[in-house]
Amino acid sequence: MKPVRRNRSMRAGGIGPDRLHVRSGAAWIACRGMAIGVLLLVLLHPVGAEPARRHVLVLFENNRLLPANVLGDRGITSALAEVDRSTEISTEFLDYPRFSGAAYGATVTRFLKEKYAARPPGVVIVAGDRALDFALNTRSELFPHVPVVHVGVARSYLASGPPLPDDVVGVPFDRDFGGTIGQALQWHPQARHLVLITGASEHDRNWEEELRRAAGRFEDRVSIETLAGRPIAEVLKRVKELGTDAVVVTPGFFRDGAGSLFTPADSVRLIAQAAPAPVYGPFVTFIGTGVVGGWMTSFESMGREGGVIANQLLAGQAPSALRLPPVMPVALHVDWRQIERWGIDPAAVPADAIVRFRSPGFWQTYSKEAIAVALAFLLQSLLLTALLVERNRRRRAQSSVDRYRFELAHASRLAVAGELTGSIAHEINQPLAAILSNAAAAEMMLESGTARPGELKDILADIRRDDLRASEVIRRLRALLAKHEVERQPFDLNEILSDVIALLGAEARRRRIALSARPASETITVVGDRIQLQQVLINLIMNAMDALADTPEEQRNVTVSLEGAATGATIRVRDRGHGITGDHLAKLFESFFTTKRKGIGLGLSIARTLVEAHGGTIAAESVPGEGAVFTIWLPRVVPGGSARIGAT
Ligand code: ADP
């Protein structure tokens, strides 16, 4: 929103009758009519109502470095620059109350009149009660018809005087002495003594009156002591004596009783340093001097409000057309260090309070780091969860694989048993037949009366031995075929060897193969499942016997040997069969690899799984045409050592 630039010099020295050039009668009449019209326009237009440029004069009532002025100036400047950065801002300081009196007023008036004669402002902003007074008294002489905006003027001050002219506008503020005292007593419920401190200047006296009035509301709750217009030394001496039941409320002062000059903020700093009791004040510039806080309007926001109004006036709006709030808002301002120092419950500080000097908490200081760490934790947890889920999945998969392997191993044993049916039946038939014939012989002896006790005893012994032989065959077979759970027991590998040889002996004889065993000379203890290891050996021996099918009878032999070593044992199954070619050797332990017409190709792959589940290894060697050797290595139990078995 750019303001319309108006040029007063044009109006004053622009198109005038003296500049008109008269050429003919008609033209002259026409020109004369225009000239009169223009002249009338110029004369009727109020001088000074239109600023020559976007020029704002800001008049502060006191000195340049007063903290309130610095803040107010910041607000005014920022609001004006928001509309036009090139706005010309002139700033003057009346320097009250250091300089005062009629002569001083006249001097300043003359100075300003001369200074701004050639560069009159479009709007005058006055900051403070006395600056407003000054403008009201001198504007007809200094800046007639220039609208005036007041900032930092107390509502009570406006109410005490006559109504302002229409073109003097602004939003007053309330010095919230009452709100500040009330807040202090609310946060210090133990307080019994309220101390009010004010100064000696005229300004200070006005504040004193207002403060006393506001404190009157609390008379029935606390005793009130007023230190008004005293020398600073006396004030500080009294303040130092205060007990913990006291609360100090002060607007600060410009001049003390001894005539020393202060800024209100500086006077309050001295008081707060000396007081062993909490100090409150109603001005935002006090925050940081040692006061706890108070209800106040920020000087910067007052300045901004004035700047915004000035922008509207510079844009051509009539002062009477402005819609302005009746008063500036107040807010509770606090110094967090003082809240902590006086043990005020943080929960009692309203959420909308304007808090300063709060050291950032852990979250504010390390929020980025905390988020990064939390994310890392989250990622780590997600990763761990994913790994756990994956592990469980694998476990479940592994257990079903184990189950299938177990079923397969069992099925494979059943298949072997099927192959052995003929020889096993023979194996059982033999002792049964022997039992039968022995029983018949004994019967005959008894019937013929030739039975001698010695002979009968031998016959019965034979029967018992044959019975044991048959039941041993059945025991071994049942053990092999039973669907038992995987065991983990220590046992001697030699026992397995003899069991397997006994189980397969009949089959070997049927095939006319010499099956021989060379057990170890010592006990070789392994830990594991004896049936599974039996199954491995049976598989290897059956394969060896298959490989001997075409071998001449006198060369058909299979040898199974067991040797112990320091940490393990080696079982070798050797045959003189057709052997295994190089390509086949590589695939031997793969599932479904078979060269047999009725083979399935699972025997060796199951054997390897079972051996590895016992922590062992299995390998094959062969010279084609000369036979094959299968070697199993198993860890043995050594004192102080251990052996493992996996589930199968
Ligand atoms: P299958 O006996 O059902 O064929 P295996 O896994 O037990 O399954 O054996 C796979 C193959 O390994 C056999 O078909 C055979 O070709 C070969 N094989 C195993 N043992 C021997 C051996 N001692 N001599 C020669 N070949 C063998």
Instruction: Encode 402-436 in three state secondary structure.
Output: HHHHHHHHHHHHHHHHHHHHHHHHHHHHHHHHHHH
- Confidence at residue 362, expressed as pLDDT on a 0 to 100 scale: 77
DSSP label at 67? H
In the structure encoding, which two tokens stand for residue 398, read together?
């592994």
Q: How many residues does the chain have?
A: 648
Index of the ligand 1 atom closest to the CA of residue 540? 20
- Confidence at residue 410, expressed as pLDDT on a 0 to 100 scale: 80
In the structure encoding, which two tokens stand for residue 320, read together?
């009477």
Q: Give the residue whose CA is nearest to atom 21 of ligand 1.
A: 543
**pLDDT over threshold 50, residue 551:** yes
Domain range summary for the chain, segments of one domain joined by +: 55-170, 177-296+329-356, 487-648
Q: Tens of pLDDT along 265-293?
A: 999 999 999 999 999 999 999 999 999 99
**pLDDT over threshold 60, residue 49:** no
**Which residue did the predictor score with more confidence, 404 or 448?**
448
Strand partners, 528: 489
In the chain, the percentage of residues whose pLDDT exceeds 70 is 90
Domains 55-170 and 487-648 share a fold: no
Q: Give the residue whose CA is nearest to atom 13 of ligand 1.
A: 594
Kindly write down the DSSP assignment for every residue of 256-270, as one continuous string. -TTS-B--HHHHHHH
Nearest-angstrom CA–CA distance, 635 and 433: 43
Q: Tens of pLDDT along 396-423?
A: 988 887 777 777 778 877 877 777 777 7
Q: Where are the alpha helices (DSSP H) in 482-553?
A: 493-510, 530-547
Index of the ligand 1 atom closest to the CA of residue 601? 8
DSSP label at 292? -
| 233-242, 339-348, 352-361: segment of lowest average pLDDT | 352-361
DSSP label at 255? B
In the structure encoding, which two tokens stand for residue 139, read together?
């504007």
Nearest-angstrom CA–CA distance, 531 and 533: 5
Q: How far is the CA of 495 from the centre of ligand 1 (A)?
A: 25
In the structure encoding, which two tokens stand for residue 175, read together?
């010095």
Residue type, 395: R
- Confidence at residue 8, expressed as pLDDT on a 0 to 100 scale: 26
CATH 3.30.565.10 fits 487-648, yes or no: yes
- Confidence at residue 19, expressed as pLDDT on a 0 to 100 scale: 31
Q: How far is the CA of 610 from the centre of ligand 1 (A)?
A: 17
- CATH, range 177-296+329-356: 3.40.50.2300
- Confidence at residue 365, expressed as pLDDT on a 0 to 100 scale: 78
Chain Cα centroid distance, residue 173:
44
- Yes or no: say if 131 and 108 are a contact pair by the CB < 8 Å rule: no
- Confidence at residue 423, expressed as pLDDT on a 0 to 100 scale: 78
Testing ligand 1's pocket by substitution, the residue of 541, 604, 605, 608 carrying the most ligand atoms inside 8 A of its CB is 604
Rg (Cα) of the chain, in Å, rounded? 58
Give the pocket of ligand 1 (CB within 6 Å).
Answer: 539, 543-544, 547, 575, 577-580, 584, 588, 593-596, 599-604, 628
Nearest-angstrom CA–CA distance, 614 and 527: 8
**pLDDT over threshold 60, residue 353:** yes
**Which residue did the predictor score with more confidence, 29 or 586?**
586
Q: Tens of pLDDT along 312-336?
A: 999 999 999 999 999 999 999 999 9
**pLDDT over threshold 50, residue 47:** no
Nearest-angstrom CA–CA distance, 89 and 78: 11
How far is CA 625 from each of CA 542, 547, 579, 628, rounded to the nearest angstrom? 18, 10, 5, 9
433: left (phi over 0), alpha (psi -120 to 50) or beta: alpha
Nearest-angstrom CA–CA distance, 388 and 386: 5
Q: Tens of pLDDT along 74-93?
A: 999 999 999 999 999 999 99
In the chain, the percentage of residues whose pLDDT exceeds 90 is 69
Testing ligand 1's pocket by substitution, the residue of 513, 594, 609, 632 carrying the most ligand atoms inside 8 A of its CB is 594
**Which residue did the predictor score with more confidence, 47 or 416?**
416
Q: How far is the CA of 596 from the centre of ligand 1 (A)?
A: 7
pLDDT-derived band of residue 640, with 50, 70 and 90 as boundaries? low
Read off the pLDDT of each residue in 138-161 and give the average, rounded to a whole number: 93
Rounded mean pLDDT of the chain?
87
Index of the ligand 1 atom closest to the CA of residue 600? 3
Q: How far is the CA of 630 from the centre of ligand 1 (A)?
A: 11
Computed from CA positions of residues 52, 54, 60, 64, in that sequence, does the dihedral angle turn out positive or negative? negative
- CATH, range 55-170: 3.40.50.2300
SS3 624: coil
Q: Tens of pLDDT along 485-542?
A: 777 889 999 999 999 998 899 899 999 999 999 999 999 999 999 888 999 999 999 9
- Confidence at residue 405, expressed as pLDDT on a 0 to 100 scale: 73
Q: Tens of pLDDT along 595-627?
A: 998 888 889 998 998 999 899 999 999 998 899
**Which residue did the predictor score with more confidence, 463 or 98?**
463
pLDDT-derived band of residue 67, with 50, 70 and 90 as boundaries? confident
Nearest-angstrom CA–CA distance, 356 and 335: 5
pLDDT-derived band of residue 639, with 50, 70 and 90 as boundaries? low
